Amino acid sequence: MRTPEQVSEMISRLEKEYPLAECTLDWRRDYELLFSARLAAQCTDARVNMITPALFARFPTLEAFAGAQVEEVEEYVRSCGFYHTKASDIVACAQALLIRHGGKVPGTMEELLALPGVGRKTANLILGDVFNAPGAVVVDTHCIRLSNRMGLVDGLKEPAKIERALREILPADKSSDFCHRLVLHGRAVCGARRPQCERCCVAHVCQTITG
């Protein structure tokens, strides 16, 4: 495990390396981020961003999604994989937002998790990016890999356990941005197969390098 000083150094170095800590999914409305995050499950953000312009043009409002035929939504999201389930969840989620929340994306973990197709990763993404809620921790594949490599967690694989562990060591006002930076760093430098440690801005405090 890393010391508080080492964690602080990681946060500082990644902030300098990736000053724009933003979600890489394209969205304008809060429900668009919610639906895009559902599509991104076991799919790349890049692929999702390729199909959502046409999807959001065809269904330009939450009401349009709620009244859509699942089969038609499937045709727009087919290339994201698991399109039957994803299309069904999107339509059901739109209906739930209108019926339960007056067309607004809710701002609590409990309410978000009650929506069709929404898990903790998506809920934390919405809380952090839409509501700027402190303590939001988005645990995706990059976060799992890097947090273990870097020594932020010790051999944890379960997202819920990693979320709790990171919340304990990250400043609440920086946790959401830090998770976005882990994604950017994981794509640019700390890849799954060939991490480029010689280019890494946090190699000097990384558990894999320093032990």
Looking at beta carbons, which pairs linking 191-196 to residues 24 or more positions away fall under 8 Å?
A: 192/141, 192/145, 195/149
Q: Give tens-digit pLDDT for 101-148.
A: 999 999 999 999 999 999 999 999 999 999 999 999 999 999 999 999
Write down the pLDDT at residue 160: 96
Given pLDDT bands bounded at 50, 70 and 90, which one contains residue 52?
A: very high
Write down the pLDDT at residue 210: 84
Average pLDDT over residues 77-82: 97
Place of tokens 């499950």: 41
Say whether pLDDT at 211 is over 80.
no
Average pLDDT over residues 180-190: 96
Q: Rg of the chain's alpha carbons, rounded to an integer?
A: 18
Write down the pLDDT at residue 1: 86
In angstroms, the Cα distances linking 146 to 41, 179, 207 are 19, 10, 10
Place of tokens 């405090």: 205
Polymer length of the chain: 211
Average pLDDT over residues 142-170: 96
The two three-digit tokens of residue 103, written as one number = 């067309």
pTM over 0.85: yes
Average pLDDT over residues 34-40: 97
Say whether pLDDT at 62 is over 80.
yes
Say whether pLDDT at 71 is over 80.
yes
Task: Determine the angle formed by the axes of helices 120-129 and 30-39, rounding to 10 degrees.
Answer: 150
Active-site residues, by number, are 121, 140
Identify the three-state secondary structure at position 40. coil
Q: Residues 158, 162, 165, 168: is their CA dihedral positive or negative?
A: negative
* Cβ neighbourhood burial of 157 (10 Å; 0-12, 13-18, 19+): exposed
Identify the three-state secondary structure at position 181. helix
Say whether pLDDT at 26 is over 90.
yes
Write down the pLDDT at residue 209: 86
Look at residues 19, 36, 26 and name the one whose alpha carbon lies nearest to residue 121: 36
Q: What is the mean pLDDT of the chain?
A: 96
